[in-house]
Structure 1
Amino acid sequence: MAAAEGTVIRKTISPYDITANDNPGSLITQVQLKGENYDEWVRSIRTALRARKKFGFVDGTIQKPTENSPDIEDWWTNNSLLVSWIMNTIEPSLRFTILHMEVAQDLWNDIKERFSVANGPRIQQLKAELVECKQKGMTIVAYYGKLKKLWEELGNFDQIPTCSCGLYTCNFHAVLERKREEEKIHQFLMGLDDTTYGIIRSNLLAQDPLLNLNNIYSTLVQEERVHTVSRAKEERGEMMAFAVQTGTRTRDKGEGKDKNTICGHCHRSGHDSDNCFQILGYPDWWGDRPRGIGKGSGRGKSGQYNIGSAGKGRGLIKANVAQVVAPIAGGSSGNSTNFGTMIWTHW
């Protein structure tokens, strides 16, 4: 019978269909069962098998046909394929401890009984971790990711009950979903750092009704970016102000020292006793300039003698020796007598 004109015929994929990519050596998920990660492994396997419409072989919804059924061979083919896929996702060190079973449902239940822990203690442990989960300087992305991981694991153990009437007209499930999301919003906001996000947190909690969790997350990420930009500008401003202040202090210190410092040794201004040449010695570039009494004062030019200080507030006295030649009366021009004359001057 031909389909009516304009009718779209959709091809239905049968759970018994096997493609060229479906082979016993395929690795359908990257998550390997190590024992303590059973919940993560179950979620990954369930998703991979549902994508291939073969999870019914595991949970028992696709029953084993009778021995006379034409589908019995296809059922065994798919069942053996699933057993191989499940075994491939178990860590090699753990694989040899699992009994080999030909029926995928039996293997699935055996693994569940061995590695699935009781939900009650784990639920309480996850709730305690949620209470203690705080931002503590983390970025919004890292903090939200940590919370989201705990929420997902808690949701696997503590699932929302379904509608008991079977008609799904009482909106019971939606009400519980919204209540759980509001609980997540409060946990997320109350764990933020008070100094940075205290004001915006109060504004978000004051809204009625509350925004959904995704909108609140987006708002806080934008606020974090604003704080990052503002903090960078403040740090640059503080660095510039510190540099200017340091330069001003250094200049003022140097100027004040040059003008007001009095040396305790020579009683002159412009330097202190730690830098006094009379104590440390005069450098070579000092040349013929007059020197005071002190270490290194003997380096002066020959013919100049440093007598010393003439007293507080007075300059040093410099003695210049001049040679005078006087002829002897009646003598020859070659005979003469030298008289040394001391000329005292102040400077």
Structure 2
Amino acid sequence: MNNNKILTWITNTVSPSISMQFGRFDTAKDVWDFLSRRYVQSDCARKYKLEQDLRLLQHQKGQSLSDFHSQMTVIWDELVLMEPKWTTNAELWYNYQEEMRLVQFLMALQDDYETICATILHRSPLPTVDTTLSELLAEEIRKGLLPYPV
């Protein structure tokens, strides 16, 4: 009886073109396994797509640095969920991750920021992404690229 309830629920929550394929299965588990094999995306495929999105992301003319940084942060946050949870030295891992994000962020900026990006990359130690963003926001305002945020 529970099997039939679950089969009905699954059938009623998917599109008709998908539910038509359930006739060959006897149990809800068989249907669930079928759906899992067919539609669950592997972490590697998702990571590939996120990395691709990150590399294609470019700071657009007229776009504020804050908005652009927010777009990158959404992708970074999703990638964090796929990172290994183990590490021999958490501080080294954090520093590596922060450096990687800094490079990705700076690479995607418009050419207007090339001089300041070069200056940032030659610092030792490198600043964090947040510190860099603050400096770039000040530069954005100084150059009058966008009006000062309210």
TM-score exceeds 0.5: yes
Quick one: which of 108, 124, 127 aligns to 2:48?
Answer: 124
Tell me which residue corresponds to 1:210: 126
Tell me which residue corresponds to 1:144: 69
Rounded to whole Å, the distance in 2 between the matches of 1:128 and 1:121 is: 11
**Over 3 Å off, 4+ runs:** 94-98, 113-116
Q: State how many pairs are aligned.
A: 116
Tell me which residue corresponds to 1:160: 84
Rounded to whole Å, the distance in 1 between the matches of 2:76 and 2:11 is: 30
Q: How far did 1:128 drift?
A: 1.2
- Matched position secondary structure for 1:134: coil
What one-letter code is carried by the residue in structure 2 that aligns with 1:146?
A: Q
Tell me which residue corresponds to 2:97: 180
Tell me which residue corresponds to 2:144: 228
* Greater strand fraction, Structure 1 or Structure 2: 1
Quick one: which of 74, 96, 117 aligns to 1:201?
Answer: 117
Contact 1:123–1:154 (CA<8 Å) still a contact in 2?
yes
Relative contact order higher in (CA < 8 Å, ≥ 6 apart): 2
Rounded to whole Å, the distance in 2 between the matches of 1:192 and 1:95 is: 47
Rounded to whole Å, the distance in 2 between the matches of 1:175 and 1:161 is: 14
Contact 1:160–1:177 (CA<8 Å) still a contact in 2?
no
1:219 aligns with 2:130: no
TM-score (norm 2): 0.67
- The 5 Å alignment of 1:53-132 reads 96-97=12-13, 114=36, 116-132=40-56
- Which is higher, the Rg of structure 1 or of structure 2? 1
Q: How far did 1:198 drift?
A: 1.2
* Greater helix fraction, Structure 1 or Structure 2: 2
Q: How far did 1:97 drift?
A: 3.2
**Residue identity (%):** 21
Instruction: Structure 1: give runs of 5+ residues left out of the alignment.
Output: 1-93, 99-109, 164-169, 233-347
Residues 36-74 of structure 1 deviation map (CA, whole Å, 9 limit, x = unaligned): xxxxxxxxxxxxxxxxxxxxxxxxxxxxxxxxxxxxxxx
What one-letter code is carried by the residue in structure 1 that aligns with 2:41?
A: V
Tell me which residue corresponds to 1:134: 58
- Matched position secondary structure for 2:13: coil
C-alpha RMSD over aligned residues: 2.6
